[in-house]
Amino acid sequence: MPSATRRNVTRLQPLRALKEQIVALDAAMLVAITSTEVGAVHKLRTTTRRVQAHLELMELLGHGNHPMRLPEHHMEARGVVQRLRRIRRAAGSVRDLDVQTSMITLDAPEKAAVHNGSTGDAVRKQAKKLRKYLEAQREDEAKKLVAVLKDEEQELAASLRALEQTIKPAHSRSLTAATLLEHAEEFFVAHLKPVLRAQRPRKNEDEHAQLQRRLERLDEDTLHAIRKAAKLCRYMVEIAPEGTPARATAKQFEAVQGAGGHWHDWLLLQQLATNFHGRKAELTHRYEIHTSAALADYHLRLSELLPKLTA
């Protein structure tokens, strides 16, 4: 590469990006303690994931073809991760209920919108009962979230300060967007072992059909893990400038994350409807259809991304 071109390559500082997310997390916690409205909880949950993504990236930076020398920080990072996990789970419970309640609204129109005794009326009544149950659950989970935040606030702040002090000498260390993308893609591929595991191809089966068959065999836990990995990878590479291949791949990770999240939301709602109304209920059947459609879209998004990463 000519020296003039090399000078124009943007260098990224991932540890400074981590510090920015820590500041954002502190603000999100302060807001959520005083208000557990939908936006505050969503911001809190997202920010915990972003901090986690940058902690994962910090681990990756010490490995691969372009290792970065960092101060020993594993003990401090482990303390942060443990406390973040508790907060994220509490916020996730509230956020899931917010999403599910919103999704149910479409199936619970005003009584005058459907004919009495019709299939639509049955769905409306079932949805209304389930929504009322979820709203009560949401109140309970929101109280638990506030209790967790108050319990963890000071300890998490101390853990974050300890981590910041430990890695402070390396704040100015940098890498290129291409190296950042390489780390993120390696991280994602590591979560794809069930998909990439060799299988005997069927007669006259092309690579796309073989990939689709592998995707269809993935269980719920694996699909959930892949969705979370895509989310973390997206947050890792979003520190790259617009117009770089890293940001283009971030959009692909986001598409996988979104499709996987949509599938997971419908799956949870289907399970709730099954537990609340039974497998044969009209509402349960409706959500089974939504879940199947969302899963097909999730498979499609994965099939678009995987060939690029495994080429």
**Which H, E and C letters describe 189-239, residue by residue?**
HHCCHHHHCCCCCCCCCCHHHHHHHHHHCCCHHHHHHHHHHHHHHHHHHCC
Distance separating alpha carbons of residues 9 and 289, to the nearest angstrom: 48
Pair 183, 235: CB distance under 8 Å: no
pLDDT at 87 (0 to 100): 96
Burial of 47 per CB tally in 10 Å (0-12, 13-18, 19+)? buried
**Residue 176 phi/psi, 5° resolution?**
-85, 165
Q: Which own/partner contact pairs does 69-73 have at CB distance under 8 Å and 24+ positions apart? A: 69/170, 69/173, 70/15, 70/167, 70/170, 70/173, 71/166, 71/167, 71/169, 71/170, 72/166, 73/163, 73/166, 73/167
Q: Name the β-bridge partners of 176.
A: 11
The DSSP letter of residue 46 is H
Residue type, position 198, single letter? A
Provide the angle, in degrees to the nearest 10, between the axes of the packed helices 74-105 and 119-167: 160
pLDDT at 112 (0 to 100): 47
pLDDT at 5 (0 to 100): 43
Tokens of 300: 């499609």
pLDDT at 310 (0 to 100): 67
pLDDT at 210 (0 to 100): 78
pLDDT at 202 (0 to 100): 65
Residues 6+ apart with CB under 8 A from 162: 76, 79
Q: Name the β-bridge partners of 12.
A: 175
Tens-level pLDDT at each residue, the chain (311 residues): 444 444 456 789 999 999 999 999 999 999 999 999 999 999 999 999 999 999 999 999 887 777 788 889 999 999 999 999 999 999 999 999 999 999 998 776 555 445 565 566 788 889 989 999 999 999 999 999 999 999 999 999 999 999 999 999 988 899 999 999 999 999 998 888 777 665 566 666 677 777 888 888 889 999 999 999 999 999 999 999 999 999 999 999 999 999 999 999 999 999 999 999 999 999 999 999 999 999 999 999 998 888 777 66
Label the pairing between strands 175-176 and 11-12.
Answer: antiparallel
Burial of 112 per CB tally in 10 Å (0-12, 13-18, 19+)? exposed
pLDDT at 307 (0 to 100): 79
Task: Give the 3-state secondary structure of residue 271.
Answer: helix
pLDDT at 274 (0 to 100): 96
Tokens of 220: 């719920």
Positive or negative, the CA dihedral 283, 288, 294, 298 is positive
pLDDT at 232 (0 to 100): 96
Distance separating alpha carbons of residues 61 and 188, to the nearest angstrom: 15
pLDDT at 277 (0 to 100): 93
